Amino acid sequence: MIILKIYKIINLQLVDLCIKLSPGSTYDFFRQMKRRVSKLINNCKKGTWSLVFMFALLLGLIPPSASANDLEPVRYLALGDSLSAGMTPEAGISSGYADLTAEYLKGKNSLAAYSKEFAIPGYTTQNVLADLTVKSELREAVRQANLITISAGANDLLKIAKTDPEKNILILDPATVKSTLGTLAKNYTMILQTIKELNPNASVYVMGYYFPFPYLSDEQKPQLIELTKTLNQTIQLATAQGATFVPVYDKFGDDTKKYLPNPENIHPNQEGYQLMSDALIATMTKAKPTANDLPKGHWAEKELNMLLASKILHLDKKGNIYPEQAITRAEVAGILYNSIPMTKSIPANPGYKDVPETHPAYMAIAKLTEAGVFTKSEYFNPNAPLTRIQMAKVITTAFQLKGDSSFPSYKDITATYWGTPYINAMTSNKIMVGYKNGRFGVNDSTNRAQFAVVLARVQAMLANQ
């Protein structure tokens, strides 16, 4: 029995090592070693060798537990704009966040190769996408890399902005900003699709942005701060299914003068680049959250994990996500508030008797009511489950979905029913469907897994439009 237990332990250790280590000769070595262990066990069972002698042989066969040096060496490729290139406040090129991250990996003896050759100051998401499409040397570099970082998006907005030196403000047309952010999201989707086609095993990290305008007019700063946060939010949502977003805004804060010493230049000093590198390293080394109560193979496993990774959903203190539990109206308000680009200005109190200003979801509920996502009434019922018709209404309104002219033929709705246009928008876009019994289930509660799937479908649809 002791021998069999030892065998099982060693067997599991070898399997674990084979999984962690890269394919090829290393993996073949451990497979051969596993066969040798099996032979030792059989000989011991037959009485050929003593347990002590066999154990001594095993100690010589088993290596130390896998360290960073045992894992596949990192081949790091940095893509994107001037931040990836390492532009300084004096408009020179030096060590940026990518260089500092490469130095960190080198210090850990885990860096095999590093290149920022394709990081070009002034690049937009369209430039990155174009290079990935036509530059054969870049496509080969992507195939060879196992770590890719991208910093792109800020220049998309800067190219449509104008400065007014006299007023010390930035002039931006809201309609142009909206369309630019939409194009940015589409570009990122195609960037990540291209990278996945070239190298499906590469780990991709997309950098967020800090506030780059600390020296502009104080009166305009609140709007520019909101714009920067909206840019980050757009990038995070657009890349949620193909990359890991690296937040840097909070590390810099709203007042970034300490890290941007040149009033005429939006690039950070070494201290600022170090903050970006620290954020990247922390994100790379942080384990992705996994729910204890989400079984492998759950029908909504992919969507729930995606929303967990993008921090749209969160685990409770027990590490649970409760996929089958009804989701409340307040929870939905909080999720939508953090999922759609919108200003963070203080809204008017919507006047719900059951949602005081001290309520945890007050800001989200007030802002979404102001935007027309929720309808004003005497009570909001924050703890009530969100029904399926309510989900159709808030998702359609929040993401401005359009239906077709067809009438969704469900037994529990009519053409004059107030929710029919919302059901039409959801079903015609294949976001929601009815039941096999011919009903839509307008008053049925929505559970957390169902809401996650609907939200993920909407995000994927918008990203691909």
- Over residues 165-178, the pLDDT tens digits come to 999 999 999 999 98
3-state secondary structure of 321: coil
For residue 136, tell me if it sits in a domain: yes
* Distance set, CA 146 to CA 75, 112, 128, 202, 374 (Å): 5, 10, 18, 4, 44
How does pLDDT run across 312-355, given as a tens digit for each residue? 888 999 999 999 999 999 999 999 988 877 666 789 999 999 99
Q: Are residues 23 and 126 in the same domain?
A: no
Please report whether residue 66 resides in a domain.
Answer: no
Residues 43 and 90 in one domain: no
Dihedral over alpha carbons 231, 236, 237, 243 (to 10 degrees) = 140
Residue 294 domain-assigned?
no
pLDDT exceeds 60 at position 46: no
Q: Give percent of the chain with pLDDT exceeding 90.
A: 73
Give me 132's structure tokens.
């990935």
Domain limit, last residue, from 61, 90, 108: 61
Residue 191's SS3 state is helix
Please check whether residue 331 lies inside any domain of the structure. yes
* 161 and 235, same domain (yes or no): yes
In a shared domain, residues 81 and 150: yes
What is the structure's pLDDT at 27?
38
- Range of weakest confidence among 23-37, 146-160, 365-379, 402-416: 23-37
Is-contact 382 361, C-beta < 8 A?
A: yes
Whether residues 245 and 307 fall in one domain: no
**Predicted pLDDT at 123:** 98
Helix/strand/coil percentages in the chain, nearest 5: 45, 10, 45
Same domain, 386 and 251: no
Q: How confident is the model at residue 5 (pLDDT cuts 50, 70, 90)?
A: very low
**160 in a structural domain:** yes
Q: Bridge-partner residues for 328, per DSSP?
A: 385
| 285, 317, 350 - which closes a domain | 285
pLDDT at 56 over 60: no
Place 406 in a pLDDT band, splitting at 50, 70 and 90: confident
Confidence at 72, pLDDT banded by 50, 70, 90: confident
**Which of 244, 261, 285 corresponds to the end of one domain?**
285
- What's the average model confidence in pLDDT over 301-317? 86
Query: pLDDT value at position 340?
Result: 79
Checking if the pLDDT of 431 tops 60, the result is: yes
Question: pLDDT at residue 153 above 90?
Answer: yes
pLDDT digits (tens, 9 = 90+) for 207-264: 999 999 999 999 999 999 999 999 998 999 888 878 999 999 999 999 999 999 999 9
- pLDDT reported for residue 307: 85
Query: Residue 49: is its pLDDT beyond 90?
Result: no
Instruction: Calculate mean pLDDT across residues 12-16.
Output: 37
Question: What angle do the packed helices 174-198 and 448-464 form, to 10 degrees?
Answer: 100
Report, as an integer, the average pLDDT of 377-388: 98
Domain CATH number, residue 214: 3.40.50.1110
Residues 311 and 378 in one domain: yes
List the domain range (segments joined by +) for residue 356: 301-464
Residue 290: per-residue pLDDT: 85
Q: Whole-number mean pLDDT of the chain? A: 85
- Check residue 40 and give its pLDDT: 44
Q: Is residue 67 part of a domain?
A: no
Number of structural domains found in the chain: 3
User: Does 164 share its domain with 78?
Assistant: yes
- 69 in a structural domain: no
d(CA 334, CA 313) in angstroms, rounded, equals: 10
Residues 115 and 235 in one domain: yes
Query: Is pLDDT at 60 greater than 60 in this prediction?
Result: no
Residue-level pLDDT at 463: 65
Q: Whole-angstrom Cα distance, residue 460 to residue 465?
A: 9
Query: Per-residue confidence at 42, pLDDT binned at 50, 70, 90?
Result: low
Same domain, 257 and 329: no
Q: Which range (5-19, 109-123, 262-276) has the least confidence?
A: 5-19
Looking at the fold, whether 310 and 251 belong to one and the same domain comes out as no
pLDDT given for residue 464 in this prediction:
62
- DSSP code at position 36: H
Q: Is 280 contained in some domain? A: yes
- Please tell me whether residues 218 and 357 are part of one structural domain: no
Q: Characterise 207 by phi-psi region: left (phi > 0), alpha (psi -120 to 50), beta (else).
A: beta
Q: How far apart are CA 89 and CA 269, in angstroms?
A: 6
Write down the pLDDT at residue 310: 74
